Amino acid sequence: QVQIVESGGGLVQPGGSLRLSCAASGSISTILSMGWHRQAPGKHSELVASIINNSGATNYGDSVKGRFTISKDNAKNAVYLQMNSLKPDDTGVYYCWQNIRVQGGLDGRDYWGNGTLVTVAS
């Protein structure tokens, strides 16, 4: 019913920038919130950033505050993650999620993308 597709990962040098994109498609009624998690090799998944759709309120993981910015485009059902001043510790697979109420549904649920790999190395 809903598909989530991420793009924008790749290899970048320390101190560089990348912009991740994520778009939802399908039988969407309402998008309630959106965000990004990441999983580094050998580590648990952690919240990177999230945004509430109607208020625009954002939340960031402590390790990325001041360096990453989450934004959205409601017309495109899209969420973005601008990553600046990247560090090797930012390396990992980044997963987009969107909490979506589908057409005819009552409650929202999380839909996840397949992930995009970000590698920060010189």
102 has a pLDDT exceeding 90: yes
Backbone angles phi, psi at 88, to 5 degrees: -55, -30
Mean pLDDT of the chain: 96
74 has a pLDDT exceeding 90: yes
Q: How far is Cα of residue 27 from the mean position of the Cα atoms in its chain?
A: 20
16-44 per-position pLDDT tens digit: 999 999 999 999 999 999 999 999 989 99
39-57 per-position pLDDT tens digit: 998 999 999 999 999 999 9
Place of tokens 């839909």: 111
For the purposes of burial, counting CB atoms within 10 Å of the CB of 114, is it exposed (0-12), middle (13-18) or buried (19 or more)?
A: exposed
Place of tokens 């930012």: 90
| DSSP secondary structure letter of residue 85 | S
Cα distance between residue 75 and residue 77, in whole Å: 6
